[in-house]
Amino acid sequence: MPDRKDKKFTKENLSDFSKRNNVQAFEEFEPEWVKMSEIEAKTQPWFWPGIIPSSTLTLFGGRGGIGKSLLLLYLASKTSSGEAFHAGGIEHKLSKGSVILLSAEDDAEQQIKPKLVAMNADCEKINLLTSKIGSISGKKKFIELTNDLNILENKIKELHDVKLIIIDPITYFIGDLRDNYNCDVANFLQSLICLAKKYDIAVILNKHLRKSSTGVKGVSAAVDEVGGAGAWTNTPRRSWLITNHPEEPLIKIITKMKDNIGSQENECLGYKITPVKILQNNSSIETTTLCWLQEMQRISAEDAVNETTYEKSKLQYAIDYIFAYLKENGQSVVAHICEKALKKGIKEKTFRRATVEIEENHTHMVKLEKGIRGAKIYSLTN
């Protein structure tokens, strides 16, 4: 190994020296100071307006098998084709361009390609990177983004129009990075942010939740459910929880865990996974696709991972709705209020529990009378 005291390391030979000698080459870092008067204020660019920003990172967190990868492939397909879609009652459109996909858990032939075909992807625009191959041994291994970020950058330069990079899941592509050390993770993610910002690309990282997580009680915040260091959720511009709806497991929801762009809302998008068949080379192949729900789902990330909090939240929402309805419409039959509440997404069981709660604990605010045919009639007290 060359004498480090006499060796002058440059940006050009630093990486080469490290690879040849299998050591961490020494590099000096100088502080970079910038006056805020020299910084130009800019608006946040968007890949998926209001949901996924561009020029930075977004994290998707959820349990294995929940449907995160299918959602990511759906985004890849709509990026490649430029096709608009309807979700939550409105039209959405992503930035059109090429996609770089890093996938570690799904088979390219039997899982990824059939799903992309079923979702009308332009597969010419989607570039899959699964591994790197040894020049001597021919062995395959996952790329390590801590050292191999140049592989992504070279592909970005080659394609010219990359709009989305998906890393699914991120933990397969970090080499020996210490997953639970905030400083290590934050420094690594900063390198991805610099790449995203340099080329105005949206980068989505998929990450699993903690294996030891119960997913029901005792969770203080949804971000605590994501495995590893807190930097995994705190460094990306937005972090989303992908999980089953607590009341309807067939519905998958996309709800905010962390957001430093806009505000936290309880309303979120929902989708279902639907089986389909595609025809390829005169063969019928069974696969799945994603179908968006046109009704917004009302549930926060904290509610989604905490059963007790969710029960209290949905009950209080129903109570508040009943009071708001009476204030706007005056004296009303319970059945009429219930009909309107169901259209707002309140379950009938929850509505009934809310009426019992009002009758038992809010008599100072509401009068209850018996109407025709025994119907209950509510009105606000004077």
pLDDT digits (tens, 9 = 90+) for 86-109: 999 999 999 999 999 999 989 999
Residue 199 has pLDDT above 60, yes or no: yes
- For helices 149-159 and 182-199, angle between their N-to-C axes, nearest 10 degrees: 10
Residue ranges per structural domain of the chain: 46-305, 308-380
d(CA 2, CA 12): 16
**Interatomic CA distance for residues 328 and 380, integer angstroms:** 11
The two beta strands, 98-103 and 126-129, are: parallel
Predicted confidence at residue 217, as pLDDT, reads 46
H or E element that contains 58: strand 56-62
Place of tokens 């060796």: 7
pLDDT tens track for 285-343:
999 999 999 999 888 887 777 766 666 777 888 888 888 888 888 888 888 888 888 88
- DSSP notation for 191-257: HHHHHHHHHT-EEEEEEEBPTT--SSSS-S-GGGGBSS-THHHHSSSEEEEEEE-SS-TT-EEEEEE
AA letter at 241: L
Higher pLDDT, 59 or 336: 59
- Residues 211-226: tens digit of each pLDDT: 654 444 444 577 778 8
Distance between CA atoms of 38 and 31, rounded to whole angstroms? Answer: 17
Residues 6 or more apart whose CB falls under 8 angstroms from that of 380 comprise: 323, 326, 327, 365, 366, 367
CATH number of 308-380: 1.10.10.10
Residue bearing tokens 């993610």: 189
Positive or negative torsion for Cα 8, 14, 20, 22? positive
Predicted TM-score (pTM) of this structure:
0.76
Quick one: which H or E segment has residue 103?
strand 98-103
What gap in Å lies between CA 207 and CA 228, rounded to an integer?
Answer: 10
| Structure token digits, residue 376 | 């209950």
- CATH 3.10.20.310 for domain 46-305: no
CA atoms within 13 A on the CB side of 44: 18
Dist CA 195 CA 145 (whole Å):
12
Could you tell me if 61 and 70 are in contact, meaning their C-beta atoms sit under 8 angstroms apart? no
Count of beta carbons in the 10 Å neighbourhood of residue 206 = 24
Out of 130-134, 163-167, 258-262, pick the least confident. 258-262
Contact criterion met (CB below 8 Å) for 243 and 63:
yes
